[in-house]
């Protein structure tokens, strides 16, 4: 069977690229898709599937429903605030062990945008910096 629906925010605006994941009773992923620019999606589900569907989008509380109740859903902004994550590492020499390559301006812009969206701050430090 094919299930279709529209995913919107709490103001009725469509959520572009919201995730729709279908899991079986053992919580294994059976299929998944994302919404288009109008918040619409379509997903094929086996007729005999007994499981759940989860609709998720960054910054919104996930919606988890029985797979047979999958359709149009309105998502609410999540009140959960994520804490700071710090990832540290050391570089023993000023020269990295891998070949350096320049990133294109387009790749740098995309990485910066992604970092901004999820709140990542990147610092570059060397082991002997400031000594």
Q: CA 116, 54, 43 angle in degrees (round to 5)? A: 105
Q: Comparing 121 with 126, which gets the higher pLDDT?
A: 121
pLDDT exceeds cutoff 60 at 58: yes
- In this prediction the pTM is 0.60
Rg for the chain, CA atoms, rounded: 21
Please answer whether residues 14 and 38 qualify as being in contact, where contact means their C-beta atoms are separated by less than 8 angstroms: yes
pLDDT in tens, 69-95: 999 999 988 876 666 767 777 666 665
Q: In angstroms, how far apart are the furthest CA atoms of the chain?
A: 66
pLDDT exceeds cutoff 70 at 129: no
**Burial classification of residue 10, based on how many CB atoms lie within 10 Å of its CB (0-12 exposed, 13-18 middle, 19 or more buried):** exposed
Residues in the chain: 131
Please report, rounded to a whole number, the percentage of residues in the chain having pLDDT higher than 70: 75
């Amino acid at each position: 069977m094919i299930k279709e629906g529209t995913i919107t925010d709490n103001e009725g605006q469509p959520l572009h690229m919201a995730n729709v994941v279908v899991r079986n009773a053992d919580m294994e992923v059976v299929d998944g898709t994302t919404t288009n620019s109008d918040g619409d999606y379509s997903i094929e589900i086996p007729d005999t599937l007994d499981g759940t569907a989860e609709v998720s989008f960054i910054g919104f509380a996930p919606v988890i429903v029985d797979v047979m109740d999958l359709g149009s859903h309105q998502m609410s902004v999540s009140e959960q605030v994520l804490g700071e994550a710090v990832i540290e590492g050391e570089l023993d020499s000023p020269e990295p062990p891998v070949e350096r390559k320049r990133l294109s301006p387009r790749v740098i812009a995309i990485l910066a945008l992604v970092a901004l969206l999820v709140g990542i701050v990147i610092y570059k430090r060397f082991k002997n910096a400031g000594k």
